[in-house]
Amino acid sequence: MPATVVRREIELAGLAIPFVEVSGSADGPTLTVIGGVHGCEYAAMAGVRRWLAEFAGRELRGRVRAVPVLNVTAFAARAPFVVPEDGVIIFLTSSPAVAADGLLLGLGAHPPAGAPGTSPEPPSPAVRR
């Protein structure tokens, strides 16, 4: 029996977040994929959607849960590095978790600290990491 695809929204922090769940006909592992952590990660958002389309009509064991656009407020505001609710600038850094996200999952590139366009100065208290 082919996989079942359910598209819906889930509520996170009072926001409606698009959510897709693909369930196989047999038990198995669960994989969660998140794209669009920053509002400008268009390739990641499109990649998650294209990847989900590959499950149409296929046999699957287990479950895939996907969030194509996590940061819906920054995406809608077209303000990728500013938290629209409070106006705080998100400071870009490189870290193993970020590097793994970009390299292993192909879900966006993140400039290393000190790269052109990033600040070598430590962030001010109003800047989030």
pTM for the model stands at 0.59
Q: What residue segments make up the domains of the chain, in order of their start?
A: 4-80
DSSP E strand boundaries for 52-106: 61-67, 82-83, 88-89
Report residue 124 as tokens. 């001010």
How far from chain centre, in Å, is Cα 125? 26
Quick one: pLDDT at residue 37? 87
Quick one: pLDDT at residue 83? 66
The model's pLDDT over 54-67, given as tens digits with 9 standing for 90+, comes to 887 888 899 999 99
14 neighbors 52 (Cβ within 8 angstroms): no
55 neighbors 87 (Cβ within 8 angstroms): no
